[in-house]
Amino acid sequence: MKDSVTEAQRSRAVGAVYDVLHKFVDTKIVPVDNLTRSLVKGDVIFNLAIGKRNDFLQGDIAALCQMFGNEYVGSPPYTHYLCLDKFTTKQILKAYGIKTPQGILFDGKAFSGKLSAPAIIKPVAEGSGIGIDDKSLCYDVDEIRERVIDKFKKLGEPFLIEQFLDGPEVTVGVIGFGNDLIVLPELEIDFSNLPEGVERYYSQRVKEDFDAQTIYRCPSNLDEKIRDRIRKTAIRSFEVVKAKDYLRMDMRIVNGIPYVIEINSMPGLDPLTSDLPKMAKPLNKDYEWLIKAIIKRVIEKTGG
């Protein structure tokens, strides 16, 4: 749901991860600006550097750790850079046979392909519903053209124009590494209870102002057969983007088939509001279990 929405959530996540780690290992919180100065050989970094989606900070931090030879928790630079751009992610998923809605790009000058409706228009490198509002779903190509040009002027960012999938929505978390991946119970986001006139998708205002009227189910009440497809798609996507330790992706289901709509390479870890901690609950696992599962690979590698 909400990734990196507020400073409060960010610092709560940093504090909560710190609380778990410092119980069994010497831990300190290092602001990004100080990282190069304070990095010592053998230090292990838990990368929580969430910048704006389009400043690629989380990828830079992973790259920096790699260059300095320090182990780090979280995905490698490749995954972050790839997933921060929804259009590029789509090309890779498609190339590997993973279903994702058709989409073209508007870079401010031209469209990368043919327009077709209905479509949702969204900034290619944002999160938290930024740039997604009640005008994002367009029903004909003139409407798409007009709105995307208007939105581009306001945000100054390339826009993805994506086939709108009218079906149940889930967000899926995967943690672990190698053959040891765990797909957490999928969290279904049901918009059917929103007041009349409010868009049935996760726009910024639905994320921020209509949380109480949004129905969350974890696990979803989708058929077991579909749930199994969701898990397989989640694992395959994790592998294809070469993720490590933790990842979350949004999917919509059409005719029983899961389509990946975006991948979050550094999903929120706020114990109060983030999705991954919520997904641990149906397993009767707590926040500490989640963090320990996420760091398992690095602990095994560094000898804990």
Q: 291, 33 in Cβ contact below 8 A?
A: no
- Give CA separation, 232 vs 101, 157, 168, 182, 201, in Å: 18, 33, 17, 11, 24
Q: How far is the CB of 118 from ligand ADP (least distance, A)?
A: 9
Nearer to Mg ion, 188 or 262 (CB): 262
Interface residue with ligand ADP, options 245, 250, 270, 275 (CB under 6 A): 250
Give residue for tokens 């069994």: 24
Query: Hey, which residues between 258 and 297 contact ligand ADP (CB under 6 A)?
Result: 261-262
Contact region with ligand ADP (CB under 6 A), list: 11-19, 125-133, 151-159, 214-222: 125-133
Q: How far is the CB of 155 from ligand ADP (least distance, A)?
A: 12
Q: How far is the CB of 262 from Mg ion (least distance, A)?
A: 5
Contact region with ligand ADP (CB under 6 A), list: 74-82, 91-99, 118-126, 218-226: 118-126
Give dist(CA 123, CA 147) in Å, integer: 12
Give dist(CA 75, CA 241) in Å, integer: 9
Question: Tokens standing for 64?
Answer: 């920096």
Contact region with ligand ADP (CB under 6 A), list: 16-24, 108-116, 122-130, 279-287: 122-130
Phi-psi domain of 21 (left: phi exceeds 0; alpha: psi -120 through 50; beta: other): alpha
Give residue for tokens 């868009």: 199
Which does residue 201 touch among ligand ADP, Mg ion, none (CB within 5 to 8 A, set by kind)? Answer: ligand ADP
Which does residue 188 touch among ligand ADP, Mg ion, none (CB within 5 to 8 A, set by kind)? Answer: none
Interface residue with ligand ADP, options 58, 79, 128, 265 (CB under 6 A): 128
Give dist(CA 174, CA 198) in Å, integer: 31
Amino acid sitting at position 113: G
SS3 content of the chain, % helix, strand, coil (to 5): 40, 20, 40
Three-state DSSP class for residue 97: coil
Query: Hey, which residues between 228 and 267 contact Mg ion (CB under 5 A)?
Result: 250, 262
Query: Hey, which residues between 146 and 185 contact ligand ADP (CB under 6 A)?
Result: 162-165, 169
**One character per residue 80-109, x = contact with ligand ADP (rule: CB under 6 A):** ------x--------------x--------
Q: How far is the CB of 270 from ligand ADP (least distance, A)?
A: 15
Residues constituting the chain: 304
With residue 229 as reference, give the H or E element that holds it. Answer: helix 224-240
Under the criterion CB under 5 A, does residue 126 sit at the interface with Mg ion?
Answer: no
Angle between helices 86-95 and 224-240 (to 10 degrees): 110
Interface residue with ligand ADP, options 76, 77, 129, 268 (CB under 6 A): 129
Give dist(CA 134, CA 250) in Å, integer: 19
Residue ranges in 39-182 assigned as alpha helix (H)? 57-68, 77-83, 86-95, 141-155
Q: How far is the CB of 264 from ligand ADP (least distance, A)?
A: 7
Burial (CB count <10 Å: 0-12, 13-18, 19+), residue 178: exposed
Q: How far is the CB of 288 from Mg ion (least distance, A)?
A: 26
Applying CB under 5 A, which residues contact Mg ion? Answer: 250, 262
Which positions touch ligand ADP (CB under 6 A)?
A: 86, 101, 120, 122, 126-129, 132, 162-165, 169, 201-202, 250, 252, 261-262
